[in-house]
Chain A
């Protein structure tokens, strides 16, 4: 369980990126963290992993404060940054140096994951291409079996078959107490993998809802003419008609469209808030 209370953070004292942000993150869920460029997705992940510290407010992860960087906290968290650069080390040396920090690290699993992601390890890890380095980092992170896994744009740089493999791996390692947070722009890559959607914009938390409750409150559809008696969060015209995200008043269960949801929530945050706090059923 991750509890963020009244977090304020800024890289300079003059300009805050987040002010007074509160957010609860619960185990057994895969979270999708969505935000525009510069919205602070990576910053939020770094405040959780203890690589950046809040200016004000608190981050508590399973009772620990990340800022204190206690080993008992650090060995439960793995953070894969967007840009990974592996050192010029052999696999053996790399494992000697880094796997020891993670008591649940499993070398057999690492081999399985590397195989599934089609990474063949050269003498020096640094000889791998960017995409291969990224996949190596994902495989290593999963093999560390930390309770909390933070991934910043993990599918960036992956080729098409690897994206499918990535989804399969994540589905296979998910358990009832794990927390996986994935920040992403590539909403289509991960749409069916996500249990819970977090949207941040302008230093504010605009949404933190489960996919189930989102599809209970909203309908995602394509129609020829938008209805004028319903609250419409987002509409986009294209060849087949108009893609809509609108208030769900009929209880119909439709498939979420993360991209349209994101566009709707960031363009009409007030309406989104109203829809999610109202109890019309």
Chain B
């Protein structure tokens, strides 16, 4: 995985795990990669993955069954959605609003383009 410059690595890996869950690659009730396996895959120290998994546990997205491994929580998917929505609304949306303001793009135009985009990309099948 190519890491970006600014954000802490463990949080970038949190994002990676969340994407795997949203994409359905990691599924509810299934065992997920162990700390060591993910560390090897990401080429990072296992302590970083420990931090990633601690964070995801705290968000109740994954759970640790002692001696067995880590599993995706029943409500994992909904919690990933809630967590990522919160991040989007807090961090990405204000940036977009700022640019909309600077470039004088109104909400109506954004709304129209948003619907077009959804129609083109997600509705034609």
Interface residues of A (CB under 8 A from B): 28-30, 164, 167-168, 171-172, 174, 192-195, 212, 215, 220-222, 253-255, 257
Q: Are A254 and B45 in contact (CB under 8 A)?
A: no
- B16 → chain A closest CB, angstroms: 13
25 A-B pairs (CB sep. < 8 Å)? A29-B47, A164-B43, A168-B41, A168-B43, A171-B40, A171-B43, A171-B46, A172-B36, A174-B36, A174-B45, A192-B3, A192-B42, A192-B45, A192-B48, A193-B43, A215-B8, A221-B6, A222-B5, A253-B7, A254-B6, A254-B7, A255-B3, A255-B6, A255-B9, A255-B12
Number of A-B residue pairs, CB cutoff 8 Å, is 59
- A214 → chain B closest CB, angstroms: 11
Q: Are A194 and B6 in contact (CB under 8 A)?
A: no
Q: Are B40 and A195 in contact (CB under 8 A)?
A: no
A180 to B111, CA, bound (A): 55
Q: Are A195 and B45 in contact (CB under 8 A)?
A: yes
Interface string of B25-52 (1 = CB under 8 A from A): 0000000000010011111111110010
Within 8 Å CB of A253, what residues of B? 7-8, 11
Within 8 Å CB of B46, what residues of A? 171, 174
- B18 → chain A closest CB, angstroms: 16
- B62 → chain A closest CB, angstroms: 20
Q: Are A192 and B44 in contact (CB under 8 A)?
A: yes
A28 to B12, CA, bound (A): 23
- B95 → chain A closest CB, angstroms: 16
Which 7 interchain pairs have the tightest Cβ spacing?
A167-B43, A171-B39, A192-B44, A253-B8, A168-B40, A171-B40, A172-B40
Give 8 new A-B contacts, CB below 8 A, not counting A171-B36, A255-B4.
A167-B43, A171-B43, A171-B44, A174-B45, A192-B43, A215-B8, A221-B6, A253-B11
- B99 → chain A closest CB, angstroms: 17
A198 to B72, CA, bound (A): 37
A15 to B11, CA, bound (A): 46
Within 8 Å CB of A167, what residues of B? 43-44
A215 to B10, CA, bound (A): 12
Known contacts A171-B36, A192-B48; is-contact A255 B43 (Cβ 8 Å): no
A253 to B48, CA, bound (A): 13
The 8 Å CB contact of B8, one of A171, A172, A255, is A255
The 8 Å CB contact of A192, one of B5, B9, B41, B51, is B9
A254 to B12, CA, bound (A): 10
Q: Are B40 and A255 in contact (CB under 8 A)?
A: no
Q: Are A30 and B6 in contact (CB under 8 A)?
A: no
Which B-chain residue is minimally distant from A257 (CB atoms)? Answer: B5
A161 to B39, CA, bound (A): 17
A28 to B4, CA, bound (A): 27
A194 to B9, CA, bound (A): 12
The 8 Å CB contact of B5, one of A28, A193, A255, is A255
Q: Are B44 and A193 in contact (CB under 8 A)?
A: yes
A116 to B18, CA, bound (A): 30
Within 8 A of A (CB), among B41-93: 41-48, 51
Within 8 Å CB of A193, what residues of B? 43-45
Within 8 Å CB of A29, what residues of B? 47
- A210 → chain B closest CB, angstroms: 9
Q: Are B3 and A30 in contact (CB under 8 A)?
A: no
The 8 Å CB contact of A254, one of B8, B36, B39, B43, is B8
Within 8 Å CB of B47, what residues of A? 28-30, 195
A192 to B11, CA, bound (A): 13
- A268 → chain B closest CB, angstroms: 22
